[in-house]
Structure 1
Amino acid sequence: LPRGLALTDEGRAYVPNIRRAFDLISEATLLLRPEPARLTISVTPSFATKWLIPRLHDFVAHNPLVDLRVLASESLSSFQADGVDIAVRQGRPPSGAGLVVDLLFPQQIVAVCSPALLPAGAIEIAASEIQHHVLLHDAHNLWPEFMEKAIGLKMTTELKRMRFNQTGLAIDAAVAGQGIALASRFLVAAELAAGRLVQPVSGEMRGTQDFYVVMPRKQRHPEPTQAVRQWLLDAGERPI
């Protein structure tokens, strides 16, 4: 109160009651407009840019009360130390009694390039001609294995190369006509459907580094975390 003013006995008796009334109003308002649950999802940068971000509008439409924080990093984030609620991880199936694990996408490797790299009037590049194009590598370095298993050729040291530390960058370079990249089919499905990329060879390779939705069995926010998990699995089954 300003100097020189003091509550009367009636005023002091009135304050606790009116404070409780304001608290009830505040609680009722929160029930009408609940605070969104804040969740963190851990993904790789390539998964974030090529699959997750283009679908976030759908996530928001289906989960308006979830405030999703996307943590994109090549390093393996910790559920506890980094405050991660759910993750999409690539590799062999994570194991542990404290984890809930669902297969999201198998690693089905395809070669992709800009349509501008195809010979005039052709829909593919002859296998023997692949070595004359720039091969775009990422950190997985799958070209030697892909050449042998999907194309039937041995990798030679004379092949032209360009290297990137992320699959998403190799895909972007392929869209720009810089060469031929390898990627999991689901990461390039939108570009293939739109005609920005084509498959210069029909051969594909089944990889061993699948993509999984992973979350701790004991979640900080069970209901919204389960909603994110279900949305990921449902979105993974929908066509482009």
Structure 2
Amino acid sequence: MRRLPPFNALRAFDAAARHLNFRLAAEELGVTQGAVAQQIRGLEAELGISLFERHPRGLALTEAGRGYQPNIRRAFDIIQEATSLLRPGRRHVTISVTPTFASKWLIPRLADFTDAYPDIDVRIVATDRISDFQADGVDVAVRLGRPPFGPDVTADLLLPHVIVAVGSPLLIEKFGHPEVVANFEHYPLLHDAHNLWPRFLENIPSLKPTPNQKAIRFNQTALAVEAAIAGQGLTLAGSLYVEDDIASGRLLQLFGTSLAADSGFFLVSQANAQSHAAISSFTSWLRGVASRDPEPASPPTSANGSAKN
């Protein structure tokens, strides 16, 4: 008879080894920090060896812990794959995306997929947090950044990230074109969490914000875009977030320049994800839609840095 450590203790070790933090491991598992610490102590006592070094500011794996982690992780992957194979009729796919990507790009296009695949249940998890495929039950993620995105995942470039300035036609009619220096100071500047206006205006030396120029700040790009549509000011956003609004006339692209970030939108999945028909169908559709997306209207100027949403 095989003698195995308790399953919950192994789960606690797997989470703590990835986060190197008992609190974050507890949040992932939905238990208390004390429960995670107790599970780890019990596992170490059963194995007769220390798996973590406890430091005032966090954890570190011991040599034994570093050797144990990849095997335990692989064991959980095998269990998940074996369980998935018991459900050959799997007809759902769970996608993790940021709130802005969900509202401004994915959801307006999603009806095409549901019409083509009415038997596949699509589940969207909109969060700025980097999802864990195992713990969160996520099949596919779209993330803005640069690879690598973690061990045992594949990342394929889906769309470039190009930043443009936009404003409401009604606001521009009120204040005049913002490219004119005398007009620009009348425009409130709408900022998201990435604060790209200073970098963007470096490419337009004639325009500089004045000390009295109004600024409104949002923690989500989607909120800044909605404020721009409502005529509350000018904002910067990824071109793919505003392409539909520009096409419909709700927004105008301004200044004839753009910033090309050194990051992009990547399709991230586990290495074995494409073996599931529903996931394969969704990722193939997503790549096809992305390949048909129009290029930015103006030549981009390079910019360093990346954004989350």
Whether TM exceeds 0.5 here: the answer is yes
SS in 2 for 1:208: strand
Q: What does residue range 1-240 of structure 1 map to in structure 2 within 5 Å? A: 37-95=91-149, 98-119=152-173, 124-128=177-181, 129-149=183-203, 153-154=207-208, 157-219=211-273, 222-239=276-293
Aligned AA (2:247)? A
1:106 & 1:98 partners in 2: Cα distance? 23
Change (3 A) 1:226 1:37: same
- The alignment's TM-score, normalised by the length of structure 2, stands at 0.61
CA distance in 2, matches of 1:172, 1:155: 22
In 2 relative to 1, CA 220–226 (structure 1 residues): closer, same or farther, beyond 3 Å? Answer: closer
What is the rounded CA distance, in whole Å, between the counterparts of 1:92 and 1:100 in structure 2?
Answer: 12
Specify whether residues 211 and 43 from structure 1 end up closer, same or farther in structure 2 by C-alpha distance, changes over 3 A only.
Answer: same
Residue deviations 1:97-150 (CA, integer Å, cap 9, x gap)? 62221111111110011001224796x422523333111111111111111135
| C-alpha contact (below 8 Å) 2:164/2:253 kept by paired residues | yes
Give the helix-richer structure, 1 or 2: 2
2:164 and 2:254 in contact (8 A); partners too: no
Q: Counterpart of 2:228 in 1: which secondary structure?
A: helix
Letter in 1 for 2:237: A
Instruction: Say if 2:170 and 2:231, in contact at 8 Å, map to a contact too.
Output: yes
Length-normalised TM-score, structure 1: 0.78
Answer yes or no: is the 8 Å Cα contact 1:41–1:85 preserved in 2.
yes
- Number of aligned residue pairs: give it: 206
3-state SS of 2:137 partner: coil
Counterpart contact for 2:161–2:264, Cα < 8 Å = yes
Alignment gaps of 5+ in structure 2: 1-87, 295-309
Give 1 or 2 for the bigger CA radius of gyration. Answer: 1
Contact 1:114 1:175 in 2 (8 A): yes
- Tell me, which stretches of 5 or more residues in structure 1 are unaligned? 1-33
Give the 3-state SS of the residue equivalent to 2:202 in structure 1.
helix
Which amino acid letter does the alignment assign opposite residue 227 of structure 2? A
Greater relative CO (CA pairs within 8 A, separation 6+): 1
Supply the distance in 1 between the matched residues of 2:174 and 2:216 (Cα, whole angstroms): 24
